[in-house]
Structures are given as C-alpha cells and as structure tokens.
Amino acid sequence: MTFSHKRSDFPEGFKFGTATSAYQIEGHSFGGAGRTHWDDFAETPGNVVRTENGAVACDHYHRTDEDLDLVKGLGVDAYRFSTSWARVIPDGTGAANPEGLDFYDRLVDGMLERGLEPHATLYHWELPSPLADRGGWRNSDMPKWFASYTEVIMGRLGDRVASVAPINEPWCVGWLSHFMGIHAPGLRDIRATARAMHHVLLSHGRAIDVMRGLGMKNLGAVCNFEYPQPIDSKLESVAAAERYDGYYNRFFIEALFKKQYPEVVLEGLAPHLPLGWETDFDQIARPLDWVGLNYYTRKNIGATDAAWPSLEELEGPLPKTAMDWEIYPDGLHHFLTRLAREYTGDTPLFVTENGLASYDVAMNGAVQDPSRLNYLESHLDAVKRAISEGAPVKGYFIWSLLDNYEWALGYDKRFGLVHVDFETLKRTPKDSYKTLALALNR
C-alpha cells in the first residue's frame, strides 16, 4: 500500500475537504424534519436493500460535535455538507421548522469554530413528500418552491458559508430517479425524465438569483460525470457511448455554459420537454463562480435494438470497488481537462466527490482499508496531471467522512474514512483517515 501525496505537492491555496449529505447521515426522524420521498421509496418493497431508510442513519443530528471533531482531526480545510429541504420546511412550502434552522446554524458555527470552511449544497435528494405528491420535479412550480426554500435557508446561513451549490448531481435527480427508477421517486418514464431534467436546471438558476439577491458570493454547480467507454470499436457501440455521454455528462454542463441541450439527447427527449423550454436558457445559465465534479467510475456501453437511447451497460475488465464500479482514474483527468477546454474555461473547478466503497470491518479499534488509499492515491495523481496541463482545479473533497446510507443500497456500502457501527453508532477512524491526516500535515 502506498500513499505518496502530501499537501505541499499541490498549488498554494488548494483546498482539501470531505463531504457528506443530510439524509445519508443526520437521522431524519429527529428534530422535526418532514417526511421525504426517500422515506416513501424505501418503504416500498424491492426499492432499497432490506428496506433501510435514513430515519437514524449515523445519528449525526445528535453527534454533530463529535463528527466535526473528526473532520478537524483529518486535517482538511473544508467540509461539504447539505441542508435538507424537509428539515427546514417540513411540508416543502410554508412554515419553516425553527429546530431545523437552529441545527444548521449550529453546524455552520461548529465548522467555523474549528477553522473549517462550510461548503453547502441545498438539495441532496430528500424531497419533502408533500411536493412529491404534487409531481415533484415534474411540476413546473418546482423552481418557485425551490427559490422560496433557498431564501429561507440561506437567509439564515448565507452570511457564513464559504460556497453554495443549489443541487447535487442533476443527472441523478433527473435520469437515475425518473428514467431508471433506481432512486426516489422510482419512476421509469421518459416524459417525467425530460421534465425533471429541465426543472432541475431552472430551479438551479432561480436559486442562484435568490442567493445573488442576498448578496452571496462563491456560488456554483455540482454535476456528476462517468467516462463512457464503447465496449468495442464498432460504429454502433461508439454512437451508443456518445448518447450516454450526451445525457449523462453533457446535458447539464452544456445548458449551464452553452445555453443549449446536446442534439444526441434532443433526439430522444425533445418531444417530452415542457413547452417553451428553448427560451429558458438565460434563466438556467446564470454566471457561476465555480463548478464541482463528482467522479467515481466509467461505464462500458454497447448498442441495443431497444427504444432510445438504445444502449446497455456491460461488465468491464478493470478492478472494481464494492459498488462493482470499475476503478478508472484517467476518467477524472479526462473530465477536469475536458470541462476546462470545452465548457468552463478559467472558472475554478473542484472535485466535490471522489472515493470508494469497500467491505470494511472494525477489529480491535482499527479498520484496515488499503483499497481506499490506493483509490485516492491514483485519483489524486489524475488531479495533479490535470493541474499540470493547466486545468484550474482548486480543491478535492473525499466522499465520505462517515460510512452512511448509500441510498438504494442501504448501509452495506461503506464509503467512509471513518467506520460507523450501525448497531452502536460508534465511530472508528479507518487507516485511510490516519494516513491522510499525516499527509495533509506535510
């Protein structure tokens, strides 16, 4: 096992951080949070492993100080967290929950007291159920509702956060949740997908306006990217991989930076987009101060005869993580350089999520997780290469601080630098945590 990186190898001011999200760690049954579509989705048999949900999760709601001490102990500069809409406004619209606002207030102050920069995300997937009842992301009122929520939460925290992104991973909110049915609300419907993808972008733009109106700075967007590898060199496989690249990697960033949707995606989605979508790009593409990339893996893509997008994901030959995701650091280098070259120019880039799940066991107060260190080592190499080629990469956040609720896969997939025993909720820093803490001090 090697870990050769040290802080001093990175440019002056480069930020290291770690990331979590609200529903995955807080414990949504505490503190007056409202019901979310993840609670509904999880309660329906077949959606989530063992029908697990985020009711308790890591009980971060009650262990905030202990967890922030762990962030501090890691030696990072920054902590990326999210605020839960349903904790802040339990019905999605209307009255705020004072306990929820107080919680995030304490959380942000806790970071500042420890010298950690708070990097906030406003939506990391726990939609209040009353909004899901009204069609959720399919509803064209979503941008309005999301703007009101933004006003409430940032009216409270906006003077103290280091950066904000409105929505985590629009692809997951749109495609994974409405086309593939893998995340809440679990739909498999092309029309719902097209609408959700468009409304997510409009909501993003509206939230940016609200925060600019509050005088806030350092506003960005966080998108996820997967390297599309054609399964072979046949023309049809290459074309299938281009379609995948279109709806996964290009759709959102192209709307945000070029005010258009890729042709290869419009081939399938155009008939299903909401009326007048062509005139919405000014509202979507508000100027941004930074862009975050979440990157984990590549997908091997082949063509099929099925309906558009007429493709399938096939098993690839590379070593895999516990998620069965291939380990492919070149993909991270690809997206950092490609974004700078084709879309974002000089806009600062951050890797806002990167990490792996492994089958970690706590024994005698220690957890050996060499595969995590290898993964981080190789992906930090890719970041360094991108920087040396001129990509303006300004920071790197590891997913995740704690083992947590990995959505449809429940609590089995352990992404944490810190092990969590979900019976006792005891935290045990893994070997990767200890090695990183040393590296970040060098």
Q: Which of 295, 399, 411, 433 binds ligand FCB (CB under 6 A)?
A: 399
Q: Report the alpha-carbon distance of residue 301 to residue 249 in Å, rounded.
A: 14
- Does residue 142 interact with ligand FCB by CB under 6 A? no
CB 193 within 8 A of CB 247: no
Q: Which of 138, 406, 418, 435 binds ligand FCB (CB under 6 A)?
A: 406
What pairing do the DSSP bridges indicate for beta strands 311-314 and 290-303? antiparallel
CB 40 within 8 A of CB 129: yes
- Does residue 21 interact with ligand FCB by CB under 6 A? yes
- CA–CA–CA angle 335, 338, 341 (5° rounding): 150
Stretch that binds ligand FCB, among 165-173, 255-263, 277-285, 422-430 (CB under 6 A): 165-173
Question: For residue 94, what are the CA distances in angstroms to 89, 90, 105, 200?
Answer: 7, 8, 20, 21
Q: How far is the CB of 295 from ligand FCB (least distance, A)?
A: 10
For residues 344 to 363, the per-residue mask of contacts with ligand FCB, x marking binding by CB under 6 A and - elsewhere, is ---------x----------
Q: How far is the CB of 413 from ligand FCB (least distance, A)?
A: 8
Stretch that binds ligand FCB, among 27-35, 99-107, 164-172, 380-388 (CB under 6 A): 164-172
Comparison of 353 and 360: residue with beta carbon closer to ligand FCB: 353
Q: Which of 57, 132, 172, 255 binds ligand FCB (CB under 6 A)?
A: 172
For residues 207 to 246, the per-residue mask of contacts with ligand FCB, x marking binding by CB under 6 A and - elsewhere, is -----------------x----------------------
Q: Report the alpha-carbon distance of residue 56 to residue 26 in Å, rounded.
A: 7
Residue whose entry in the numeric block shows the structure tokens 């495609």: 175
Q: Which of 194, 415, 433, 435 binds ligand FCB (CB under 6 A)?
A: 415
Q: Report the alpha-carbon distance of residue 51 to residue 62 in Å, rounded.
A: 23
Q: Which of 169, 280, 369, 431 binds ligand FCB (CB under 6 A)?
A: 169
- Does residue 252 interact with ligand FCB by CB under 6 A? no
Is the omega angle on the peptide bond into residue 329 within 30 degrees of 0, that is, cis?
no
Q: Which of 203, 294, 300, 321 binds ligand FCB (CB under 6 A)?
A: 294
Q: How far is the CB of 165 from ligand FCB (least distance, A)?
A: 11
Stretch that binds ligand FCB, among 65-73, 132-140, 166-174, 305-313 (CB under 6 A): 166-174
Comparison of 294 and 344: residue with beta carbon closer to ligand FCB: 294
Catalytic residues: 169, 353
Q: Tell me the three state secondary structure of residue 425.
A: coil
Q: Report the alpha-carbon distance of residue 255 to residue 241 in Å, rounded.
A: 20
Q: Tell me the three state secondary structure of residue 296.
A: strand
Binding residue count for ligand FCB, defined by CB under 6 A: 12
Stretch that binds ligand FCB, among 42-50, 167-175, 247-255, 272-280 (CB under 6 A): 167-175
Instruction: List Cβ neighbours of 317 (8 Å cut-off, separation of 6 or more).
Output: none
- Does residue 168 interact with ligand FCB by CB under 6 A? yes
- Does residue 121 interact with ligand FCB by CB under 6 A? no
Helices (H), 246-323: 251-258, 263-269, 281-284
Q: For the CA atoms of the chain, what is the radius of gyration?
A: 20
- Does residue 369 interact with ligand FCB by CB under 6 A? no
Q: Report the alpha-carbon distance of residue 193 to residue 39 in Å, rounded.
A: 21
What pairing do the DSSP bridges indicate for beta strands 418-420 and 427-429? antiparallel
Q: Which of 10, 407, 411, 433 binds ligand FCB (CB under 6 A)?
A: 407
- Does residue 53 interact with ligand FCB by CB under 6 A? no
Count of CB atoms situated within 10 Å of the CB of 394: 17
Q: Tell me the three state secondary structure of residue 35.
A: coil
Nearest CA to 121 among 183, 14, 204?
A: 204
Structure tokens belonging to residue 163: 């950066």
How would DSSP label each residue in 197-261?
HHHHHHHHHHHHHHHHHTT---BEEEEEEEEEEESSS-HHHHHHHHHHHIIIIIHHHHHHHHSS-
Contact set with ligand FCB (CB under 6 A): 21, 24, 168-169, 172, 224, 294, 353, 399, 406-407, 415
